[in-house]
Chains A and B, each alone.
Chain A
């Protein structure tokens, strides 16, 4: 759906994007990750035609991105902003109309979303009278009120309490299920783990990695396993021999332990199972993949070490 090829952008002497290419497929939730100042917001602004790239092209549904396509994109910027003295409904209708809806269509969609987010009673209130969380919801509705094919959400979860975070995540999953594509820029790695299909990591204006979330975690797998068992800890350690390295353990009560270990050489999970069967009562063996947070830190640190 969205193809970005060799995008470049600099502000005076500072390079904000350096030859960034990526592609986002239809119905995907795509995570855009990176530390502060990496260039994510610049990329998002270029996608939304807010600023122009110095070089490179963007294609949307196979066509070069232009002003006309903006009606198919919904945008939630990181810095939230609404007209404070406008009424909620009036404001949402205005923003929907700017994205190409007729007044009638805008009215219908606004009513639908306000009802869905449980803020229908606030529709005639001025934005300045809303709580921060409520205003965030209005802002989120503003991004999708015109029923866009692509949603670009910059930190959509910041400022929400856990209940509303869950509400937004559920909504994103529903949008994905209905065929919408979402680009999600966030520092909330748990949400990336939970809902993103693919992700890319941008650091110092360059794209450092891009893959499915599962593959990214696999790629940074340290060969660690978690084992939960019932029995004797000494018997467990003796069973491991030299093919496995015990990284740590913890007694979780009732003669039960949780141990973290790493494979050595060519050992596989089956070797581990064979080694432990009969020595302890196995309850769980799980390959421990790094979280996206760990992947993120791993890549950034790796990059910094290369620089050093």
Chain B
């Protein structure tokens, strides 16, 4: 046990007290925070207001669009023709971001062209379309029917088919939360990929510089393998911990400075808002969000819950996959051999990430059910399940999944230990499948 910890400590020190690792310890969170800031900004982009000029020579619109609840789109009317070139280049039109052409046939053919300077966000396009459509509807009802607008809208109301899970009839879990689980699961596999390759390279390096023979004269091969894997795992956890702290700190600073919580009345100082509007905002807090990404990151992720399970499943899956990387490193004679044999493992990691996507798309399929029990894919599926929320009565299933991965890891470590012992002192050969079989048998 003492030697195991010595090997673990040495491996940890070699990983951590490395210039690249130390740089990445700080650069990684900075990159993540910059990316998150861009995402937050992108969430706000949809709210950017634009000025739209409605060219309506037939004066059909009567200088009106439906009463607006939101003010992202500001409408201006002109009762004359405006050519595209004129709109594009004319100084009097430069304040308009887009021009909508309303021709006299619009009530029949229901088609209008929108010429924009910069492509508006999908949100703005939807608002513009919705508001214009409502106004055209009014005109159609006036011109072609004897119905009141209310009656018309009732008749026109499309059938809403709302698909709901019998186990979640209130539709409390959402796709966004599933994607949070997906991100956690993908992180597990990303770190396994990165640190699995570190196990492989480190083992192959000890083989090629022949220190392995000195080490094996003092420790057992399995001890050496596990010491190395644990040392690298601790370096990975250390990196994750530092990243989590730094990213958490960055997010807190973001919240205090660039992206304050506008649903929190404490942050309304300096914002002109009537009492009515304030109470309206408070009343709609539960269901509404000023920025869905900010809302997701700051309000909808239970970081403690997810982190505890993340560490448990990461460690179990790391030892399971790490056993593969370790035995490949021990068996190969050259580094290029290792690259070839590691490809199937990397493909498996890729498949596991894909399985998360499949699970979100088809959560009740038989395939999805199986994936949560297969140790290769289980960590991904379980993280999604945890993010979606696991009912207390079926929480024991999470532990069953964890137990299956741990059991598979122990089994794989046994096999890997055998191959490690037989392969680690073979040098300069080209690895073949027959040779792997012989190493396993001997």
* Chain A residues within CB distance 8 Å of chain B: 11-12, 45, 48-51, 67, 70-71, 73, 75, 77, 79-86, 94-95, 97-99, 142
Contacts and interface: CB of A to CB of B under 8 A. Distances in A.
Nearest to A84: B209
Contacts of A50: 213, 216-217, 425
Nearest to A76: B214
B309 interface: no
Contact of A99 (B10, B14, B213, B218): B218
B300 interface: no
8 contacts: A45-B425, A67-B220, A71-B218, A79-B210, A79-B427, A81-B210, A81-B214, A99-B218
Given A85-B14, A94-B10, A97-B6, A49 B217 contact: yes
Nearest to A48: B217
A81 B218 CA distance: 14
Contacts of B219: 98
Contacts of B213: 45, 50, 75, 77, 79, 81
A98 B218 contact: yes
Interface of B: 3, 6-7, 10, 14, 206, 209-220, 425, 427, 438, 442
Nearest to B211: A81
A142 B214 CA distance: 9
Contacts of B215: 98
A69 to B, nearest CB: 11
Contacts of B209: 81-84
Contacts of B210: 77, 79-81
B2 to A, nearest CB: 8
A11 to B, nearest CB: 8
A219 to B, nearest CB: 34
Contacts of B14: 83, 85-86
Contacts of B218: 70-71, 95, 98-99
A99 B215 CA distance: 10
In the complex, the 9 A-B pairs of residues with the closest C-beta atoms, listed nearest first: A81-B210, A81-B211, A48-B217, A79-B210, A75-B217, A98-B218, A77-B213, A50-B216, A81-B209
A37 to B, nearest CB: 14
Most buried by A among B209, B210, B218: B218
A98 B3 contact: yes
A137 to B, nearest CB: 15
Given A81-B211, A86-B14, A97-B6, 14 more contacts: A48-B216, A49-B217, A50-B213, A50-B216, A67-B220, A70-B217, A70-B218, A75-B214, A79-B213, A83-B14, A85-B14, A94-B10, A95-B214, A98-B6
B252 to A, nearest CB: 37
Main secondary structure on chain B at its contact with chain A? helix
A82 B209 CA distance: 7
A50 to B, nearest CB: 5
A45 B426 CA distance: 13
Contacts of A84: 209
Nearest to B18: A85
Given A75-B217, A95-B218, A98-B218, A51 B438 contact: no
B44 to A, nearest CB: 47
Contact of B442 (A12, A48, A49, A70): A12
B231 to A, nearest CB: 12
A83 B10 CA distance: 11
Residue from B7, B209, B220, B438 with most neighbouring chain A CB atoms (10 Å): B209
A84 B208 CA distance: 11
A51 to B, nearest CB: 7
Given A50-B425, A77-B210, A99-B218, A12 B10 contact: no
Contacts of A94: 6, 10
B425 A83 contact: no
A71 B217 CA distance: 9
Nearest to A143: B214
Contacts of A82: 209, 211, 214
A12 B438 contact: yes
B205 to A, nearest CB: 9
A34 to B, nearest CB: 19
Contacts of B425: 45, 50-51
A75 B215 CA distance: 10
